Structure 1
Amino acid sequence: MNRYLKLGIILLVASCGGGGGGTPPRNLDNACALVRERPAYLQAMRASERRWGVPIHVQMAAIHQESKFVGNARTPHQYALGIIPIGRQSSAFGYSQALDGTWEEYLKETGRGRARRDNIRDATDFMGWYMHNSTRRLGIPPGDAQSHYLAYHEGRTGFARASYRQKPWLMTVAANVGARSEVYRQQLASCRR
């Protein structure tokens, strides 16, 4: 076999190994279609639900808002004078758009030093961990996707101070997350039958 053919095969195999991290599922509006296309997503969210008590539909709605299920999602670049790149808006990365500092806290607290933000299993575990702690510290019910999203976006301190009340756009986004969560809940209940 010539070396160009070998190289081509290696590149082809390597490009398939990411588990869809850069490509979202085709139908993000239908929870049943989403989990049929990506059963590993449902397995990951079930594991997180068992460990942290955060319902699958709440996790799904938050991931939809944060990354649209793109595993290697990043925030946009910022530009000085409209043309000179000066870095990204934040360190948020992956399915859950976890910030570097919060991700480090998660790794330290859970002992999951090899976890990666672009791995759906790790990202859902992170999200479950974060929301579980929000339930413990702030009293947010596990199924309250809207409040969990506000605490996720603003941080627990910001949520406790109600900083989101000064951001009407964020209140709208959080309401949409809550509504999507309810749609996903109903869809998941119907596709399990």
Structure 2
Amino acid sequence: MSRFLRASILFLALASCGGGNFSAPRDLDNACAIVRERPQYYSAMKATERRWGIPVHVQMATIHQESKFIGNARTPHRFAVGVIPMGRQSSAYGYSQALDATWEEYQVEQRRRGAKRDRINDATDFMGWYMNASTERLGISKNDAQGQYLAYHEGRTGYARQSYLGKPWLVEVAARVQSRANMYAQQLASCGR
């Protein structure tokens, strides 16, 4: 076997061991297409629904808003004077765009030190944990995608203080999350999910 062929085989083997597929599904406006293309997403969300009671369509709409189903999504960089990089806007990362401190709280409380924000199973379980606590502490229905999103974005303390009322853009975004959750729920029902 030639050196080139051996090197090519080794390169391909190493490349196939690389990171996960973090790209978004092709049709983000069709829940059934997402489920068909990425059945592991649906399995993860169903497990979260069973454990925490957060419906699949609420999880899907929130993930769509937060990361567009991109597993390694990060917030954009900030720039001073338009050109000098100043770091990222926040520590949000992964499917759920969980902040470092909140993610660490989840890992400690749930004894899941190995959980990663760029793994769909861990990200949906985190969302279920967070939203379930929002239901318990704030009385937000688990089916209320809009309310859950506002608490998710602003934090529970911010939600309780109604900080979102000073952010009309955020109220609009939350209404879109609710609309998408409704659409996903209808689509999932039509494809037997």
For Structure 1 versus Structure 2, the TM-score category normalised by the shorter chain is over 0.9
Percent identity between matched residues is 66
- Equivalenced residue count is 190
1:158 aligns with 2:161: no
Structure 1 residue identity aligned to 2:176: N
Q: 1:8 aligns with which of 2, 8, 11?
A: 11
Q: Please name the residue that 2:191 is paired with.
A: 191
* Alpha-carbon offset, residue 82 of structure 1: 1.0
* Alpha-carbon offset, residue 14 of structure 1: 2.5
> In structure 2, how many angstroms separate the alpha carbons of the residues matched to 1:156 and 1:88?
23
Deviations 1:33-55 (A, max 9, x none): 00000000000000000000000
Output the aligned Cα RMSD: 1.1
SS at match of 1:78: strand
TM-score, normalised by the number of residues in structure 1: 0.95
Structure 2 residue identity aligned to 1:47: A
Q: Please name the residue that 1:145 is paired with.
A: 145
Deviations 1:154-180 (A, max 9, x none): 000000000000000000000000000
> In structure 1, how many angstroms separate the alpha carbons of the residues matched to 2:10 and 2:87?
34
Structure 2 residue identity aligned to 1:14: C
SS at match of 1:40: helix
Consecutive unaligned residues of structure 2, counting only runs of 5 or more, are none
Deviations 1:117-176 (A, max 9, x none): 000000000000000000000000000000000000000000000000000000000000
> In structure 1, how many angstroms separate the alpha carbons of the residues matched to 2:16 and 2:54?
35
> In structure 1, how many angstroms separate the alpha carbons of the residues matched to 2:153 and 2:66?
9
* Alpha-carbon offset, residue 72 of structure 1: 0.1
TM-score, normalised by the number of residues in structure 2: 0.95
> In structure 2, how many angstroms separate the alpha carbons of the residues matched to 1:7 and 1:157?
52
Counterpart mapping for 1:1-193 below 5 A: 1=1, 2=3, 3-15=6-18, 18=20, 20-21=21-22, 23-192=23-192
- Runs of 4+ with deviation above 4 angstroms: none
Deviations 1:99-120 (A, max 9, x none): 0000000001100110000000
* Alpha-carbon offset, residue 4 of structure 1: 2.2
> In structure 2, how many angstroms separate the alpha carbons of the residues matched to 1:88 and 1:11?
31
